[in-house]
A and B are shown apart, each in its own frame.
Chain A
């Protein structure tokens, strides 16, 4: 089997499987259902945009996929591991190894330089200082910010901060990149740059990306778009191809 064939087989395998996932919160004495019996399969190497009105459950779903929250019911399997059966500390360790987060407001540590911010996830690994430096440099180069490594977040533009955040999400080579409104705080031109970067990461690095967005133009950069409403997937979780 050729390397190309292996790659194409890997790309087609399922990374995420959700079966009958429900999530409800307690609000006083009432149970508020946010997600209801959701089924969803996501292939490795996909770039999926999750769209829907506010309160439709997109972010809740993203939190479940990132191991930040646990479903009330159902099976949630990522990379062959049942997240719904993991304890809180197991989920913490799982997140460190398998997920990279990209947030709307970048969430960089203001007291750390760009390179130190990017290095954070690597501090949870057994890599040596030299190896960490090497990985950080590669990640910053990938997002085009090698020349800003020593700058603090306050010395960077919004777009640059988001690139640092992307480098931080990428640096430990996670299976899954989860983006919560990654361009929500950026102007159009910068947003397009960030989305192009994500697209490149998906196409050239085969990164699986799941992006929550309100912005249809942002969703256009994804391979597939999934619509949610009132805690359920529209069209029973069948994904639609984005228009390119």
Chain B
């Protein structure tokens, strides 16, 4: 066993020291794997960035209440009375004696994209003062908060980056109503940062929604409050609601697009991987062919076929991992934090998110590269092991 490991190490080191003589073909394999891993991580970082944006700002102790059967805010709706009943449910946290309950109204407005000749659906959310308490991390980063009763907007950091004319101080017109942008906010990198916020009452008037809302967010007074709230809702026939934890709701909302990105991304990465595997196979066959006499000499001296095969495989793995690491590093510097926006299928509005090249994805990329290297090196390794020694010794 020890002897075999020594043999593998000796032959592998020789192979690797030989690489400069095979720089051209080796570079092709490394480049191919780097591209594949780049695309693989790139696509997945889009999905993970989207998911992170959707889910990260959610809290386990916040519940979202929608009309029973509604699949998203868009299809939900409830009157003022119902929002008041919800606020007074047992299990809802209180601050200064007031329930931490945020009825919210959600409409979609048409808004021009920044640096593009097209418009997009931007989410405009009407909120009340408790909206800021129910969010995990809300912070005005520029200007000030809107004043209740005024046509004022505050805009999320992401929305400001993606949509035109949202600088603090600018005036925008949605339908017949003009709005002044008075501030910009952050909300832990979450979905809210893609949104525009205003006073719920003003929004109700502007869009003739009467005194209705779409959802209510409530903060629980303790971690076990969900069951209490659910039991209270079930016991009272006045309620016709679906209750979900905010984190679960956001995860559900992110699923269709995440799935779509992965559905496109995985086949693309696999197709490219096939190309890279052919590249690696070709490189390794060339490597074996170039080293035919060396391999035969080692075999004649008494080195085993298995160490020769494994060392060929190791060489392939080393090249692939180098490619994987290069691909990962390049993708990290190009894509990590890169901001884009896309239509969220669940809400039919734009979501602004950053590509997230996470450590997990980098590890997955290198593992993917290793798989390519293994498959690419497998058959050349078998060829190396089966080389007819007597014939190969005479090759010049």
Contacts and interface: CB of A to CB of B under 8 A. Distances in A.
Size category of the binding interface on chain B: 20 to 34
A189 B301 CA distance: 28
A158 interface: no
Nearest to B302: A96
Interface stretch (B150-158, B329-337, B388-396): B388-396
Contacts of B299: 92
Interface in B256-308: 293-294, 296-305
A112 interface: yes
B18 interface: yes
Contact of A120 (B3, B298, B305, B390): B298
Interface residues of A, number: 28
B390 A103 contact: no
Contacts of A96: 301-303
B298 to A, nearest CB: 7
Given A96-B301, A121-B301, A124-B302, A69 B390 contact: yes
Contacts of B343: none
A101 interface: yes
A6 interface: no
A123 B304 contact: no
A66 interface: yes
Contacts of A60: 390
B326 to A, nearest CB: 24
Contacts, number: 63
B390 A89 contact: no
Interface string A100-114: 010101010111100
B305 A124 contact: no
B10 interface: yes
B17 interface: yes
Nearest to B386: A88
A95 interface: yes
B145 interface: no
Contact of B396 (A88, A89, A105): A105
A103 B14 contact: no
Contacts of B302: 92-93, 95-97, 121, 124
Nearest to B393: A103
Contacts of A95: 300-302
B342 interface: no
Contacts of A111: 14, 17-18
Contacts of A105: 293, 396
Contacts of A107: 293-294, 296-297, 393
B119 interface: no
Contact of B297 (A66, A103, A124): A103
Contacts of B294: 107, 109
A230 B294 CA distance: 30
A63 B390 contact: yes
Interface string B1-12: 001001100100
A89 B305 contact: yes
A101 B305 contact: no
A145 B394 CA distance: 26
B32 to A, nearest CB: 25
A124 B390 contact: no
Given A88-B305, A123-B6, A123-B7, A68 B300 contact: yes
Contacts of B296: 107
Nearest to A105: B396
A102 to B, nearest CB: 11
Given A109-B294, A111-B14, A123-B10, A101 B390 contact: no
A60 B305 CA distance: 21
A105 B293 CA distance: 10
Contacts of B394: 59
A39 B300 CA distance: 24
Interface string B303-338: 111000000000000000000000000000000000
Nearest to A68: B390
Contacts of B297: 101, 103, 107, 109
Given A109-B294, A111-B17, A111-B18, A120 B393 contact: no
A67 to B, nearest CB: 9
Interface in A7-66: 59-60, 63, 66
Contacts of A126: 3
Nearest to B19: A111
Contacts of A69: 389-390
B11 to A, nearest CB: 10
Contacts of A121: 301-302
B35 to A, nearest CB: 29
A180 B17 CA distance: 28
A178 B393 CA distance: 13
A112 B304 contact: no
Given A68-B389, A105-B396, A124 B14 contact: no
A141 to B, nearest CB: 21
A76 to B, nearest CB: 14
B299 to A, nearest CB: 7
Nearest to A93: B302
Contacts of B304: 89, 92
A66 B300 contact: yes
Interface centre among B14, B17, B297 (most CB of A within 10 A): B297
A101 B301 contact: yes
B34 to A, nearest CB: 26
Given A95-B301, A105-B396, A120-B301, 6 more contacts: A59-B390, A68-B300, A68-B390, A96-B302, A105-B293, A107-B294
5 contacts: A89-B304, A92-B299, A107-B293, A109-B14, A111-B17
9 closest residue pairs by CB, A with B: A96-B302, A111-B17, A107-B297, A63-B390, A68-B390, A95-B302, A69-B390, A124-B302, A68-B389
